[in-house]
Amino acid sequence: TEPLTRGIVIFGATGDLCKKKLIPALYKLWLKDLLPENFLILGCARREPTAEMWKESLGYYPDDFLHHLDYQCADLSMVETLRHLPDYIDDMTYFLSVPPERYADAITNLKEAGCLDDPETSRVVIEKPFGHDYKSADHLSALVARHLREKQVYRIDHYLGKDTVNNILATRFSNILLEPLWNRQYIEEIQIFATETIGCEGRSQYYETSGAVRDMLQNHILQVLALIAMEPPSRMSAKEVRREKTKVLAATRMSPSIVLGQYHDYRSEEGVNPDSTTPTYFAGTLFVDNWRWEGVPFNVMTGKKMPYGCVEVVIKLKAPPLKLYEGETNDRIVMRLQPNPHLDIRMDIKSPGLNNDLEEATLTHEYPQDRSVDGYEKLLYDAIEGNQAHFVHAEEVMESWRIVDDLLCEGDHCQIRTVPYIYMPKTWGPWKQVESITNWDYPA
């Protein structure tokens, strides 16, 4: 047989992420014949099962696929164990499916073991969160920069692997229809929703250290905002797309108009401090201080135990300069990213009949889901191929933490209120405070 020349090492291979997301995604790539020939998938963890025991723990896969899998005991905190990783692979991707507090040791020791010496043929994939706040993210970025080139670092935000999220750029930049409207001259407001109907569902202990700001706002929502607000890149390359996202995030600021919430009974869940001030909800206004968006509010809502769960962007256009009809409503462009993704353009038309009454017409395109791919499938494929377009640059991470840093303040010295208001499940948050932000277009 031909020698194995490319591969991926998954650290934390006995964990849930590997079993439920990574191996199934790699299997789908294999089924589509998108993995390189003789590709090695090496599971690594501190436990010492045999390769056969590890493969059995993953569930059923055909033997032809399992032929690509192997297992090796290795500890990211012990350099010597990393020196025994395969040295016959010409091009290797290292996936850190481990707790974030182990990232620093992992990168330092992989570099010391010689695994990351060649920036052209070695790379590290890092799961979110990248840091816990601005200060910790800055420290981790400095450590990574000491050991690796930026081209070797693949920071995952699984939202960026979703077809529907990537469709934002395709819809904006492959059509002339929207671009003339996409600015402060014609857009009154943009709303971004990322809501869930469920609570923490057994993840309360993790969520207690995270909360809505770290879990959703700092990463997923700000990435969607960047794709909506960024300038057209000069070409669709990783370098140029990430450059434009960084520029728009650098221009973004949080307004004082914000509300943090916590659903009733959160404090009674297992693993949660009875006096917890962890927010399970955020609503607030951000502004992008550049020529295109000056003065346009970006109103964001994310939370758990909401009446409806979805990820959706609503672009509310301004009213015509002269009102000629009774009952006019501002036009809307709605991008539903999940579930049942679709693009809506809503406008007024004349109702049939003798008078001049108006009714709303909606032009809808449902995004085809039969050909869509899982986020990890897309991101693993890109990482193996060395394409960073759908991964987050270090400067994007730092700008995102800068934007939300005031929301992470605790104690009496905070510039804004960060103690969450209590809200009842199946409501849109602490309504009295939330309704003062804007006239929300609640999804349904």
Decide: 379 and 157 in contact? Cβ < 8 Å.
Answer: no
Strands 252-263 and 187-195 come out as unpaired
Peptide bond into 339 cis (omega under 30): yes
Decide: 163 and 367 in contact? Cβ < 8 Å.
Answer: yes
> Which one of the listed residues 220, 390, 393, 413 is annotated catalytic?
220
The two structure tokens encoding residue 124: 């590290």
Beta bridge partners of 303: 195, 281
In the sheet that holds 122-126, the strands lie side by side as 69-73, 40-45, 6-11, 91-96, 122-126, 153-155
CA separation (Å) from 326 to 144, 289, 317, 352, 356?
Answer: 60, 35, 18, 15, 8
Residues 6+ apart with CB under 8 A from 406: 254, 414, 415, 416, 418
CA separation (Å) from 216 to 210, 303, 319, 378?
Answer: 9, 9, 32, 20
The helix/strand count (H/E) of the chain reads as 15, 15
d(CA 82, CA 243): 34
Q: Specify the DSSP class assigned to residue 151.
A: G
| DSSP reduced 3-state for 116 | coil
Q: Is 132 a catalytic residue?
A: no
The two structure tokens encoding residue 159: 């939202």
Sort 171 into a burial class: Cβ within 10 Å, 0-12 / 13-18 / 19+: middle
| DSSP reduced 3-state for 425 | coil
Backbone torsions φ then ψ of 421, nearest 5 degrees = -75, 145
DSSP assignments along 286-328, one per residue: EEE-STTTTT-EEEEEEESS-SS-EEEEEEEEPPPSS--STT-
Decide: 260 and 418 in contact? Cβ < 8 Å.
Answer: yes
CA separation (Å) from 367 to 166, 171, 173, 316, 338?
Answer: 12, 12, 17, 21, 10
Beta bridge partners of 194: 302, 311
Decide: 315 and 171 in contact? Cβ < 8 Å.
Answer: no
List, by residue number, the catalytic residues: 220
